[in-house]
Amino acid sequence: MSKRVFLTLFISLFMLLILSITAGIWVLVKSKSDQESGSTFIGGTFILTDHNGQKITEKSFPGKFKILYFGYTFCPDICPTGMTIISEALDLLNDKSAYIKPIFITVDPKRDNVQVMAEYHRHFHPSFSNLTGTQHEIDHIAKLYKVYYKKSNPDEAKDYLLDHSSIMYVLSADGKYLTHFGPGATSAQIAAFFNREIH
């Protein structure tokens, strides 16, 4: 092998090594950035049914911010409070509320069928979409959004309560995770966030 061929081969291999290292560093940095924003770990594809019997997916309501809240209609206090806070935040936003889609997702599909969800819909902001599905579908979306729920007393056959996380997830207009609000969030805080995001 001539010195020139050897040199060319060496330079090619060296450049390939540099490119590989650069690509590896980019992947690590991108992965870390995604982890910090939560975009890789929260959300995904799903199919559920709304309170009107229509199929809803992660692609529904394009161009709108989404605020997702998980709960169940038989919840005595936490869920109605969360739904009320979201409703009040939408009222505070006035015309800007048209750019936001609030979504309530049950973690109790056994009792929260379409009819029950439609009745529950009457008590909160009219722009809410209340979603239910099969147990498998609910388990799937709960896993996507890291939602915890469990019967507080498994032995109760009918009038059981559920222990569950109470987090409001905010998604961008293109469906990416932006932030979340915990149980202590107020309607004013939520409205202030959307006022900053919607121009």
For the stretch 149-170, pLDDT in tens is: 998 887 767 789 999 999 999 9
CB 114 within 8 Å of CB 53: yes
Q: Would you list the DSSP string of the chain?
A: --HHHHHHHHHHHHHHHHHHHHHHHHHHHHHHHHHHHTTTTS----EEEETTS-EEETTSSTTSEEEEEEE-TT-SSHHHHHHHHHHHHHHHHGGGGGGEEEEEEES-TTT--HHHHHHHHTTS-TT-EEEE--HHHHHHHHHHTT--EEES-TT-SSS--EEE---EEEE-TTS-EEEEE-TT--HHHHHHHHHHH--
pLDDT category, 30, cuts 50, 70, 90?
very low
Q: In the prediction, which pLDDT does 17 show?
A: 41
Residue 19, pLDDT > 90, answer: no
Which residue is it, tokens 């905010």?
170
Please give the mean pLDDT across all residues of the chain.
85
Residue 6: pLDDT band with limits 50, 70, 90:
low
| pTM of the predicted model over 0.85 | no
What's the CA gap between 151 and 32, in Å, rounded? 35
Residue 33 has pLDDT above 50, yes or no: no
pLDDT at residue 56 in the model: 98
Whether the predicted pLDDT of 9 surpasses 70:
no
- In the chain, % of residues over pLDDT 70: 78
Average pLDDT over residues 94-105: 98
Structure confidence at residue 159 (pLDDT): 85
Mean pLDDT over residues 18-44, rounded?
48
Q: Could you report the per-residue pLDDT of 113-143, keeping only the tens digit for each?
A: 999 999 999 999 999 999 999 999 999 999 9
User: Could you tell me which CATH number the domain at 47-197 has?
Assistant: 3.40.30.10
Percentage of the chain beyond pLDDT 90 is 74
> What is the structure's pLDDT at 199?
86
Q: What is the pLDDT of residue 185?
A: 97
pLDDT over 50 (residue 83): yes
